[in-house]
Amino acid sequence: MSVNKGKTMSWEKITEQQNLLSINIDANSTLEILSIINNEDAGVPTAIQEAIPHIEVFIDALVPKMQSGGRLFYVGTGTSGRLGVLDAAECPPTFSTNPDMVQGIIAGGYDALVRSIEGAEDIPADGATEILNYEIKTEDVVLGISASSTTPYVLGALEKAKAIGAMTGLLLCNDPPKLEYVDYVIPVIVGPEVITGSTRMKAGTATKMVLNMITTTLMIKLNKTYGNLMVDLKASNDKLWDRGTRIIEHLTDLNYDEALNILKSADGEVKTAVVMEKLKVGVEVARDRLRNHKGSLKDVFIKK
């Protein structure tokens, strides 16, 4: 039996509204269901495009904090929390960052990464406690992730972080609330979900994309790339040794085997190996040059 299109659920929150385009989805064929989901997902980049000015302002405030030794914390519950932890976990192998630099905090802790702990999101004091547990300071940045914009755990964490003096932000998929303890709001309005209230879908996709944009842009600003090459890569497995070797091969006159050898002599540090070869210096001198130019390969080569 199909749903009566004349009666839809009325909710104030956009993420809880009923999607009229999928209201009879259970009466559709597999192909039709897939097409409905895909067509809805296609609107996510447009929603993000509209939010780019908000993302830009947040990142421009974030970069100086990171340059001064601050840390970025994502705080979320459920899907939002898992995506924050995922993005944070991908930064060290991709950009050779200290694992402390970008961290994810999820309500319910490690167990919530692998199974749902729904009640963990309901207590603001638990979010505030995590801010204290992670010893968040004034130079740090806390970005709450809440598709609904009202998750008590996330708001409790943000309020405590602001009271400490940290910079705060909120990534959401609803009309932004006015919260005096949130410095930067990033609203990504993807509209009602294909399955009503299932924010693991469009809202989750949008969250993953925005977090990618935030950390990738941050790392570019912190000189973790050379052009679009991942030069601050630290080789730690076969794939990364191969990728690092090919980057060195591309940026120098070395062949693959020569590039691999110099990467090994640089302890798997691609940027260090490139400086060693380009300037014909040893590993410690190469590292000193990079430190003196804040890790910028371009500045090392231009200013020497």
Which CATH number characterizes residue 198's domain? Answer: 3.40.50.10490
90 in active site: yes
Residue 17 lies in a domain: no
State whether 208 and 292 are in the same domain: no
Residue 242 lies in a domain: yes
State whether 141 and 257 are in the same domain: no
**37, two tokens:** 């989901």
State whether 111 and 184 are in the same domain: yes
The string of pLDDT tens digits covering residues 67-120 is 999 999 999 999 999 999 999 999 998 898 999 999 999 998 888 888 877 777
Q: Catalytic residue among 16, 32, 50, 121, which?
A: 121
State whether 217 and 245 are in the same domain: no
| Domain end point (choices 221, 246, 273) | 221
**64, two tokens:** 């100086």
State whether 262 and 212 are in the same domain: no
249 in active site: no
Residue 57 lies in a domain: yes
CATH of residue 243: 1.10.8.1080
Please compute Rg for the chain using Cα positions. 22
Domain hosting residue 251, numbered range: 238-303
Residue 162 lies in a domain: yes
Tell me the pTM: 0.90
State whether 91 and 160 are in the same domain: yes
Residue 33 lies in a domain: no
pLDDT at 7: 52
State whether 145 and 251 are in the same domain: no
Each residue's pLDDT, cut to its tens digit, for the chain (304 residues) gives 344 444 555 557 899 899 999 999 999 999 999 999 999 999 999 999 999 999 999 999 999 999 999 999 999 999 999 999 999 999 998 898 999 999 999 998 888 888 877 777 778 999 999 999 999 999 999 999 999 999 999 999 999 999 999 999 999 999 888 899 999 999 999 999 999 999 999 999 999 999 999 999 999 999 999 999 989 988 889 999 999 999 999 999 999 999 999 999 999 999 999 999 999 999 999 999 999 999 999 999 886 5
Residue 226 lies in a domain: no
Sign of the C-alpha dihedral computed for residues 170, 175, 180 and 186 taken in this order: positive
| Domain end point (choices 221, 250, 280) | 221
Residue 80 lies in a domain: yes
SS3 track for the chain: CCCCCCCCCCCCCHHHCCCHHHCCHHHCCHHHHHHHHHHHHCCHHHHHHHHHHHHHHHHHHHHHHHHCCCCEEEEECHHHHHHHHHHHHHHHHHHCCCCCCEEEEECCCCHHHHCCCHHHHCCHHHHHHHHHHCCCCCCCEEEEECCCCCCHHHHHHHHHHHHHCCEEEEEECCCCCCCCCCCEEEECCCCCCCCCCCCCCHHHHHHHHHHHHHHHHHHHHCCCCECCECCCCECCCHHHHHHHHHHHHHHCCCCHHHHHHHHHHCCCEHHHHHHHHHHCCCHHHHHHHHHHCCCCHHHHHHHC
Structural domains in the chain (count): 2
Residue 228 lies in a domain: no
Q: Catalytic residue among 12, 50, 56, 90, which?
A: 90
What is the C-alpha separation between 59 and 8, in angstroms, rounded?
39
3 C-beta neighbours (distance < 10 Å), count? 15
